[in-house]
Structure 1
């Protein structure tokens, strides 16, 4: 890439947290180090993997600004470690099951930053993939997240690029939440910062391995978060019950091999936020 000397090159920190991710981590790493944008600080926080993940990290360590492998208290504890180390103007968190959609993603993000320095969080669309990386459906970025925050997480964490000052001012991820701390963080800052939804697929995310037990646990944490931020109690209970019902239907349909039907139901519930493949 030829860089114009007059271009502003903000530093972008990308943090990957992982644990025993030997099957997927290389794809994640390559999607970062092969970006066309030059000023990237790549940080990997490994939770003490024993399956060969560390060997893959070492293979690319010349392209990694910082990495460590040691036990942590979960995914958000690892993310917080990385955020505290990061020196970039904006910080992204890309999990070891995820990979950037193309090599120009970060350049496109930087173009937005250079056009408006007042933007605090940039996000976009995301492909949801099966365990083998095949795209199942696309969730479009939410252009008005402040309108939908009470109903669901309107900003997908693997697509987010957050101004570092935001973490410094409002704090890191709350470790009281094991799965939905990103939802709590967005609730915390939703009325205090400026969002920009890039009309582009930012990230591919594997969802094939998500268990129904984990989905129910997410629902429980989401309920607690909405309660913490004083969402109407009846509305909150109805959302909780709706999710339980949908998860029960999903379990039944998946047992019958009707995955596409599950995705169609999702698209109806999300009112065209989902594009089926």
Structure 2
């Protein structure tokens, strides 16, 4: 670990970027370069690695020369187990989840810190780019239809999260190996957590993750989450059926 994680001016919160890695050497250099290019360098990068064997750790060792890196590498039980480890290590007032194949805009951290300080919100939801598309918060806050996406645009890249929320609402649940972020965000919102929108593009969201490949898993877990929060079971079953038909072609590949 190099650099310092200094006490910020009273107007700006401490900030952590957290990443779960496992054999990500092929994609990690892009993220490293985008972190090195940040206009606001007063942040820590906390990496929870799943005992990589492909050169990921060597890449991180090189990155530690220029970034304030905290690394924990050991076998884990998937991405949310790794993220929970990283959150427990993080010293920031807020954290931003960034995947190994994601890339941040050069001013992303500066703008997140400013937005967090200005709004004092528990979640600050910005915009992510995914190919030629922009991922924003839905225009209508219909939780029954959009789940957590009624409040935030994307868990990775574009959502700053107040770290201490986990002390009140728990960590990412191992009951939902694909949609634990949806479960946590909705529990926090139902508990009174405040979400603020920020209209800036934070970065590029890589789409190689599990949720992008397992449409049926995502639908199943979000069905359980929404029903568990009290949404009408019949309505959710109908939505599940419609989504199953829409995504059937993808699920057969």
Tell whether the structures are fold-level matches, with TM greater than 0.5: yes
1:249 to partner: Cα distance: 4.4
- Corresponding residue for 2:5? none
- Corresponding residue for 1:157? 155
In structure 2, relative to structure 1, the CA distance for the partners of 1:33 and 1:74 (3 Å cut) is same
Query: Following superposition of structure 1 onto structure 2, how do residues 1-277 of structure 1 map, counting pairs within 5 Å?
Result: 8-62=11-65, 63-100=67-104, 102-117=105-120, 119-128=121-130, 135-142=131-138, 147-152=141-146, 153-154=148-149, 155=152, 156-158=154-156, 159-191=158-190, 192-207=192-207, 214-250=214-250
Q: Distance in 1 between matches of 2:111 and 2:74?
A: 33
1:220 to partner: Cα distance: 1.0
Q: Distance in 1 between matches of 2:184 and 2:114?
A: 25
C-alpha contact 1:12 1:39 (8 A) present in aligned 2 = yes
1:136 to partner: Cα distance: 3.6
Q: Which TM-score applies when normalising by structure 1?
A: 0.80
Superimposed CA distance per residue, residues 227-268 of structure 1 (whole angstroms, 9 cap, x where no aligned partner): 21121011110111121111124568xx8xxxxxxxxxxxxx
Q: Distance in 1 between matches of 2:93 and 2:212?
A: 37
Instruction: Compute the RMSD of aligned alpha carbons.
Output: 2.2
1:75 to partner: Cα distance: 0.4
**Between Structure 1 and Structure 2, how many residues are aligned?**
239
Instruction: Give the 3-state SS of the residue equivalent to 2:238 in structure 1.
Output: helix
Q: Which TM-score applies when normalising by structure 2?
A: 0.87
1:98 to partner: Cα distance: 1.2
In structure 2, relative to structure 1, the CA distance for the partners of 1:212 and 1:46 (3 Å cut) is closer
Unmatched 5+ residue regions in structure 2?
1-7
- Corresponding residue for 1:275? none
1:148 to partner: Cα distance: 2.6
Superimposed CA distance per residue, residues 141-164 of structure 1 (whole angstroms, 9 cap, x where no aligned partner): 3466xx233222312101111111
Unmatched 5+ residue regions in structure 1?
129-134, 256-277
C-alpha contact 1:142 1:197 (8 A) present in aligned 2 = no
Runs of 4+ in 1 over 4 A off after TM superposition: 208-213, 249-252
Superimposed CA distance per residue, residues 170-205 of structure 1 (whole angstroms, 9 cap, x where no aligned partner): 111111110100000111011311111111222311
In structure 2, relative to structure 1, the CA distance for the partners of 1:72 and 1:58 (3 Å cut) is same
